[in-house]
Amino acid sequence: MVVEFSHIPVLAAEVMEYLAPVEGGTYVDGTLGGGGHAALILKAVGGSGRLFGFDRDKAAIRSAANFLAPFGGSFTPVNSNFSGMEEALAQYGVAAFDGFLLDLGVSSHQLDTAERGFSFQQDAPLDMRMDRERGITVAELLADSSHGELARIIREYGEERWAGRIASFICKAREESPLETTLQLADLVKGAIPRKAWEERIHPATRTFQALRIAVNEELSSLEKGLAAAVKLLKPGGRGVVISFHSLEDRIVKQLFRGMTGGCTCPKDFPLCVCSHKPQVRVLTGKPVMAGKEEIDENPRSRSAKLRAIEKLG
C-alpha cells in the first residue's frame, strides 16, 4: 500500500527563480518529501534531464515515486539521508550536478500522521524518527539521557529558556513511569513552563518537540555534512537553494555559505598566500527570502520558511 503524501511546496516560485533549472540538466532534491518541488524541477529539465530525490523516509519515497511516475526515467528516488549523497550518487555514475535543493522542513504528512509522534495535536507514541528502521526514538532518549544532556538538547536545539526546568520535570516524571506518548510530554512541558511565560502564538511544548526531533534524527550534523557535499559536487555556474524553518538551521546555512565565500585565510603579515584558499560560491540572497502574505494565508506552515541561495564559482 502506498500512502499518499500531500505536499504544498513552500516558496515554489522563489525556488525555481533561484535554482533556475535548465533543460537537460542534472539536479538533486535532497529532501524529497511529497515531491512538490521535484515535480516543478522535472518539468523544467524535460525528458533529457535527471532529478535524484533523496529521502530517508521509505513512505515518502514510495509516495513520491508514485506521484512522479509520469516523468519516467528522468526521476530516480534514493532512500538515503542527503548527507550521504556523494556515495549514493557515485553508484549511478554521477560525479557532479547542475543544482540542488534542500527543503529542511518536516513534511505535512509526517506532522499529520499521528503514529509518527512528531505532533502533540494527537496522542501517539514518542517516536519522531525520519527513518523508522534506524536510531533511537524520543521515548528512548528521554528514558536514557541524564538531566544535563536533556537540558543541553532542549536549550541548544530548541532555544528554550526553560530547558533546565523542563529537564528536571522529565527526570522526576520518569521515576514514576516512562514517558511514552506525545500528550504526556506536551502536558509535562506545559506544567514546567510558568503560565505567564507562554508565548501567544505557539504551544509551550513546540520548542522542546523541535529539539528532541533534531536530536534523534541528527539533523544539524546531517545539514553540515550534506551541504558541504552538495557544494563540492555542484558544477561551476550551478546553483544551490536551501529552505530552513527555524533560526538554528538558518544560522548554520548562513555561516556555511559565508565561509564558502571567503578567499585567502593566511595571516595578514604573510608576504605571499600559502593556503591557496579561494572563494567557492557567490551568495545570491543577501537576506533570506520569505513567504508573502498570500502564501502564508494559503499555507500557514510557510510562515517560518527562509530561503538562501548560492552559485558555484569556477
Give the range of the structural domain holding residue 199, as residue numbers without chain letter.
115-217
Indicate whether 113 pLDDT > 60: no
SS3 2: coil
pLDDT tens by residue, 13-68: 999 999 999 999 999 999 998 899 999 999 999 999 999 999 998 888 999 999 99
43 and 123 part of one domain = no
Q: How many CB atoms lie within 10 A of CB 169?
A: 20
Q: In terms of pLDDT, which residue wins out, 280 or 301?
A: 280
105 and 34 part of one domain = yes
Indicate whether 269 pLDDT > 90: no
Domain boundary residue, one of 197, 217, 237: 217
Domain boundary residue, one of 186, 217, 248: 217
143 and 269 part of one domain = no
Position 3 scores a pLDDT of 47
Domain boundary residue, one of 169, 185, 217: 217
| pLDDT level of residue 282 (50, 70, 90 thresholds) | very high
CA atoms within 13 A on the CB side of 294: 3
Residue 94: CATH number of its domain: 3.40.50.150
First to last CA, the chain: 46
204 and 225 part of one domain = no
Q: How many CB atoms lie within 10 A of CB 275?
A: 11
213 and 227 part of one domain = no
103 and 164 part of one domain = no
Q: With 0-12 CB in 10 A as exposed, 13-18 as middle and 19+ as buried, what is 309? A: buried
Position 115 scores a pLDDT of 53
Residue 211: CATH number of its domain: 1.10.150.170
Q: How many CB atoms lie within 10 A of CB 29?
A: 30
Position 2 scores a pLDDT of 46
pLDDT tens by residue, 197-209: 998 888 999 999 9
234 and 201 part of one domain = no
